Structure 1
Amino acid sequence: MAENDEEKRKQFYERTMGQLDEMLNAIKKNPDDQMELLRYAKGLVNTITIFGMSGDPEGIALVIIRFRALVEEHGHIDAIQNQFATALANSMSYLMKKQKFEQMYARLEELRIFARAYPMNMTCQRQLAGGLVNSIINFGQRGMMEPVKQLIRELLILSNAHKENMEIQLALAKGLVNSMGYLSKNYDYDSAIPLLDELMALTEDYPNDEDFILQRANGIVTAMSAFSKDEEYIDVVDELNEELSQMAKMYPNHEGVQLRAKTKSLGRD
């Protein structure tokens, strides 16, 4: 049975890599054709998805090697930069699901370096922001608080450099909610409180955006749940409860806010 599975895997690799080779050969015939370059780049991203969905870290690694070669020769093209940043971020998500943590952090560091090399490419910056949020979640779930603190600081710096970009600001909001939640659950309230303050200040800048409204509510119920375990923070919990009630009145048609106000939990959207 194992031999049959290995043979199927081998055939799958050959077929998948063969399709990529066909695209690469088309580039070699027309090296100045940017449409062929982009087609190959998108093919690499799609192949990472295929390997990721099938839980194959080795396949992902092989595709990243191919992508690096493409970037080395054509990295000056914005579209190639965009696709490579997307590939690195996507690979991180799949590697995290397979608990390949060392490989995941290697991809995060590669994404960091790449994003710094192209600071004006907003796709690179957005993908880095998303990668940082995923890493915060990963470390938080494993109870590793020092990396969580380092990552949220990095995300704050990144977001401050791109205040005009709503997607990066939203990633910051998600990062703040998660970091504050993990830190407070581990009784590091002194580190969690400033993050809650950051979240409140950030979301006040987007009073009419449903995503930011939801993250504000998420932060409130997360903090209420964690801080209620310590009598020293009962006043904080009461203030947050009042804020959540006010949000429910302000946003009567926001299902996420209404659910959180009713259940005092994150619930399901």
Structure 2
Amino acid sequence: MLLEDKKSKKQKNVRVRDIVIGGPEKVIISGPCSVEDYETMRKITSGLKKCGVQILRGGAFKPRTSPYDFQGLKHEGVKILHEVGKEFDMPIVTEIMDARDLESCAEHLDMIQVGSRNMYNYTLLKELGNYNIPILLKRGMSATLTEWLNAAEYIISSGNPDVVLCERGIRTFETYTRNTLDLNLVAAIKENYNIPIIVDPSHGTGRRELVGKMSLAGIVAGGDGVIIESHINPDKAISDAKQTISIENLSEIISNIKKIENLF
């Protein structure tokens, strides 16, 4: 196993351009679920930059349960994200679903996300090991700790050591929330393993009114940061509107995280 026990080595940091994930400062990643168009993305990014977001996220390739739902702008979305990130001097992260898209997209990205559905896509994971770019690895919706860590090992053992885990909630019998945010494993990973981890309270709850409290809970559990879906007009977001928060709400969450980040 390349993931070393924390007792034998201090916490590993992953650098996304000038942003360090795993250091003393908690990292805020935010943006819309889907890249909708250039002007909307630009307006969102302007607000995010002002309230202190360090890394810009946005979905270009969208894995949807129904084939009839919006599937994303794909390569055009990556291009928009890249251009806006460059304009506002913000690193960008987006999900790549297919190994065949890596070559054309990787040069435009600062971090590549592996989504929940692709955590078991070992062909993709091994291919990501060939790229010198940080990877954000989301937990599969029913994945155990061992399965999740082994997915990270596929990337690391293939040559790319810069992996950040993302707890995004697991599927349980509870139906009030979209998923159940498993903060037990956030604490366990910080206690036992030499790898950074962030928390996704947007997918973890599926309810915007819970995102603020669960963001703080994720930091208290040991998370190195959060990834939150935000929009200038959350109710009209093309994807995942119910879990998307406003820039104003995000600013308040960031302020609260700043108050407690040095305590944990």
With the shorter chain as reference, the TM-score category is: under 0.3
- Higher RCO, Cα 8 Å, sep 6+: 2
Larger Rg: 1
Bigger helix share: 1
The TM-score with structure 2 as length reference comes to 0.27
Bigger strand share: 2
